């Protein structure tokens, strides 16, 4: 085999499968992910050699397809080889009866590198078959009917069917290890993020819940970032060790252990925008929502306390539990313990003034029988409360904290919403700029 690259012959080309050297006489096509081994060398490619279509995979796999046996080269978004199971993106080399000779999973460029490889191998040019397409150019009438009701194109396997190894061995174990690593780091981050909300006293009010949600979200995001950093560090360490072993000396660490600048910047920016959207939604609930709700309940409780202080009568009573039974559509019954004041044969549900209901027995709520001094209206015994509930201000503690936090969050909504608009507009502008750059390149 002749090559315009002076230092490459036929054997050198086969021993250096991963070099992305531009060689117009010997084009090469790679999947979009560029699968690499531990040494950082690309092991999956499609090329033309000696008039044949040749594919390389991991583990030294080499598949030679004579040009005369190739009928079509297609890329698909999804396809199936059996009755039920559908497969994802792949490059398929078909014989003249539209049967699969070679399957290379992944996203391959149809009109770029693959097209040049097919031209060099003198096989029909590649085409993309969409999932809802019933036929492709050149398909027989019998093959055109091989489309199921879900519009997923169907191709049978040819004798000698080969699946290209586009992933290195041990990939399943690596994926499992990464899942465990991310679960551990995300769980630990979420636990750390929840600590501030748990440590805050109850008089902070409903804002404790929001702090807990935001803390857990930030903790999980931080845990995922730490997990990714650990995974990259381990991968770099393994690659450095393999390279050092192969070279027989210590490889320069700076070439392996480096900061990955901008590799996943787009994903993190998108995650930040999504988080900002949820933060704005949360502030709408914990800002105006909690503020208005606290104000309405505070005014109601203030009116009740004022009425009981002015016209209420005092009588000994007890705090008991009156269970509330509810049955859902599935017939499952839910029991809710309801604090109730009992006096003179009357049972009145605890009004929970100031958002603080009377506490039932924590060990056994049903056996609660605590003596309480009850204040009630003689004209309407259903209006009643415990004396301890009307002794202080209804605005003390959580209600005031809810009003303050609700006001602050309401004030923070306009600038946050404007920031979100600016970030979305900047992202769209960046995409338009990249699109124009691709068109003018």
Domains of the chain, residue spans: 10-163, 171-260, 282-325+336-413
d(CA 114, CA 125): 8
Locate 168 and state its tokens.
């290195």
Residue 319 sits at the vertex; the CA angle it makes with 318 and 322, to the nearest 5 degrees, is: 120
Query: What residue ranges in 271-391 does DSSP mark as E strands?
Result: 312-321, 324-327, 333-336, 339-343, 346-349, 369-377, 384-386
d(CA 106, CA 73): 14
Locate 339 and state its tokens.
């604090």
Calculate mean pLDDT across residues 196-206: 79
pLDDT in tens, 246-304: 778 887 887 777 766 555 566 777 778 888 888 888 888 888 888 888 888 888 888 88
Task: Give me the helices (H) in 2-63, please.
Answer: 10-15
pLDDT in tens, 305-326: 888 888 888 889 999 988 888 8
d(CA 93, CA 55): 10
- Among 103-112, 129-138, 139-148, 432-441, the range of highest mean pLDDT: 103-112
| pLDDT of res. 183 | 95
pLDDT in tens, 219-229: 998 999 899 88
| pLDDT of res. 307 | 87
* Beta strands across the sheet bearing 100-105: 127-129, 72-76, 90-94, 100-105, 157-163
The burial of 207, by beta-carbon neighbours within 10 Å (0-12 exposed, 13-18 middle, 19 or more buried), is given as: buried
Locate 323 and state its tokens.
């269970």
Kindly give the pairing relationship between strand 127-129 and strand 86-87.
unpaired
* Beta strands across the sheet bearing 79-80: 86-87, 79-80, 153-154
Locate 437 and state its tokens.
């750059």
């Amino acid at each position: 085999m002749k090559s315009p690259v002076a230092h490459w012959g036929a054997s050198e080309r086969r021993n250096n499968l991963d070099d992305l050297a531009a060689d117009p006489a010997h084009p090469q096509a790679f999947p979009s992910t560029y699968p690499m081994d531990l040494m950082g060398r690309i092991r999956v490619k499609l090329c033309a050699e000696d008039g044949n279509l040749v594919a390389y995979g991991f583990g030294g796999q080499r598949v030679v397809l004579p040009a005369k046996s190739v009928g079509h080269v297609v890329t698909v978004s999804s396809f199936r080889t059996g009755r039920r199971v559908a497969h994802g993106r792949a490059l398929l080399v078909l014989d003249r009866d539209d049967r699969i000779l070679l399957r290379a999973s992944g996203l391959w460029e149809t009109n770029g590198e693959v097209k040049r490889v097919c031209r060099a191998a003198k096989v029909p040019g590649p085409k993309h078959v969409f999932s809802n397409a019933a036929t492709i150019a050149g398909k027989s009438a019998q093959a055109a009917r091989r489309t199921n009701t879900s519009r997923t194109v169907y191709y049978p396997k040819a004798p000698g069917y080969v699946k290209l190894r586009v992933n290195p061995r041990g990939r399943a174990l690596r994926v499992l290890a990464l899942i465990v690593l991310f679960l551990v780091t995300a769980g630990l981050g979420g636990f750390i993020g929840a600590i501030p909300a748990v440590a805050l006293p109850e008089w902070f009010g409903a804002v404790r819940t929001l702090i807990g949600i935001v803390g857990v979200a930030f903790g999980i995001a931080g845990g995922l970032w730490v997990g990714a950093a650990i995974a990259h560090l381990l991968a770099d360490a393994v690659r450095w060790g393999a390279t050092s072993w192969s070279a027989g000396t210590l490889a320069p660490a700076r070439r392996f252990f480096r900061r990955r600048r901008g590799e996943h910047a787009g994903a993190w920016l998108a995650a930040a925008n999504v988080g900002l959207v949820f933060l704005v939604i949360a502030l709408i609930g914990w800002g105006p929502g909690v503020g208005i709700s606290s104000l309405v309940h505070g005014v109601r409780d203030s009116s009740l306390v004022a009425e009981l202080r002015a016209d209420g009568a005092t009588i000994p009573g007890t705090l008991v539990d009156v269970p509330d039974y509810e049955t859902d559509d599935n017939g499952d019954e839910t029991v809710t313990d309801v604090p109730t004041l009992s006096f003179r044969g009357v049972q009145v549900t605890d009004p929970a003034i100031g958002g603080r209901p009377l506490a039932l027995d924590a060990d056994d709520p049903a056996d609660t029988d605590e003596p309480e001094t009850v204040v009630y209206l003689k004209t309407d015994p259903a209006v009643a409360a415990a004396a301890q509930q009307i002794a202080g201000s209804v605005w003390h503690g959580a209600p005031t904290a809810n009003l303050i936090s609700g006001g602050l969050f309401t004030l923070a909504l306009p600038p946050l919403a404007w920031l979100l608009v600016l970030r979305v507009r900047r992202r769209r502008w960046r995409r338009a700029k990249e699109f124009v750059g691709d068109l003018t390149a």
